[in-house]
């Protein structure tokens, strides 16, 4: 079930270094939100603070509020493991488990939940997830071959299948297409469109056209200078951001007149 995300005054640190400062935003359910901005402005850092992956970095910390359907994920009694299991994440480089088969990769999340499922139920779920990820036809005859033995684009779709197999409320994607060819990129963009009615999707991308094609809302991050924290400069509907942004910096960035 898709969920609503409310971020308030978020500061994100690596040890003493303030990497992202003062971000507030609202992310609507059943929509695609794109995050754009120059390299190093903290898009990945911000994204990883939405499912508490950020704190896996030693000494990293987060201040402020992230509420998912009203519940503060940084609240006192919240287990980060629970949060991560409710939020799917797809990384820049495809990272299927090389020691597992394609099938086991997709089933990995279900096995973690400890849910007692019959073999046939898991089979169904694996098939459904692979179909949603537009990968079923390509791998149905080699489900028990290694997850690392398919092409990069297929691996990335496998990672998406793995992420959606547990039916997460939110799907976070960090430059999911940056290692892929145009055809695989197309496949993933189509997939994002297909998934939109059921999920809340946040995608980081360096590709303006991609942001324009897939997203409903776009947030532009920027940093004043090297060593300064990144900030959310502007956030609006994608149509607005790409046609009439309020900020000069946004316009410079999307028209390529940046830096």
Contacting residues toward ligand ATP, per CB under 6 A: 14, 17, 19, 37, 39-45, 57
Cβ proximity of 18 and 139 under 8 Å: no
Least distance CB 95 / Mg ion (angstroms): 15
Show the tokens assigned to 91: 């990384």
Q: In what order do the strands lie in the sheet with 217-223?
A: 71-72, 60-68, 5-14, 17-27, 230-237, 217-223, 32-36, 200-204, 170-174, 87-90
CB closer to ligand ATP out of 61 and 128: 61
Q: Is 44 in the site for Mg ion (CB under 5 A)?
A: yes
45 binds Mg ion per the rule CB under 5 A = no
Kindly state the tokens that stand for 113: 């939940």
Binding residue for another protein, selected from 17, 26, 98, 244, defined by CB under 8 A: 98
Tell me the number of residues near another protein by CB under 8 A.
33
User: Going residue by residue from 51 to 80, which x/- string records binding to another protein, judged by CB under 8 A?
Assistant: x-x--x-x----------------------
Tell which one of 37, 42, 64, 96 touches another protein (CB under 8 A). Answer: 96
Written as one string, the DSSP assignment of 154-212 is HHHHHHHHHHHTT--SEEEEESTTTTS-HHHHHHHHHHHHHHGGG-EEEEE-S-HHHHH
In the complex, what is the shortest distance from the CB of residue 201 to ligand ATP, in angstroms, rounded to a whole number?
Answer: 17
Cα 141 to Cα 80: distance, rounded to the nearest angstrom: 37
Contacts to another protein by CB under 8 A: 51, 53, 56, 58, 81-86, 88-89, 91, 93, 95-101, 108-109, 112-113, 145-146, 148-149, 159, 162-163, 166
């Amino acid at each position: 079930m898709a969920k609503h995300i409310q971020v308030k005054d978020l500061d994100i640190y690596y040890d003493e270094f303030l990497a992202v400062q003062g971000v507030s935003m609202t992310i609507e359910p059943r929509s695609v939100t794109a995050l754009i901005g120059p390299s190093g402005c903290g898009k990945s850092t911000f994204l990883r603070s939405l499912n508490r992956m950020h704190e896996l970095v030693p000494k990293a910390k987060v201040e402020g509020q992230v509420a998912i359907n009203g519940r503060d994920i940084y609240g006192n009694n919240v287990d980060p493991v629970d949060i991560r299991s409710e939020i799917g994440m797809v990384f820049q480089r495809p990272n299927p488990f090389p020691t597992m088969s394609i099938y086991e990769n997709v089933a990995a999340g279900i096995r973690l939940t400890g849910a007692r499922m019959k073999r046939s139920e898991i089979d169904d779920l694996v098939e459904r997830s692979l179909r949603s990820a537009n990968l079923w036809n390509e791998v149905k005859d080699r489900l028990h071959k290694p997850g690392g033995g398919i092409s990069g684009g297929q691996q990335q779709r496998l990672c998406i299948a793995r992420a959606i197999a547990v039916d997460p409320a939110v799907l976070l994607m960090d430059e999911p297409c940056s290692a892929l060819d145009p055809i695989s990129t197309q496949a993933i963009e189509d997939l994002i469109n297909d998934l939109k009615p059921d999920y809340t999707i946040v995608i980081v991308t360096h590709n303006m056209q991609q942001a324009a094609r897939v997203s409903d809302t776009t947030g532009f991050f920027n940093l004043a200078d090297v060593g300064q924290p990144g900030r959310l400069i502007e956030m609006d509907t994608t149509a607005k951001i790409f046609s009439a942004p309020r900020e000069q910096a946004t316009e410079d960035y999307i028209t390529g007149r940046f830096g």
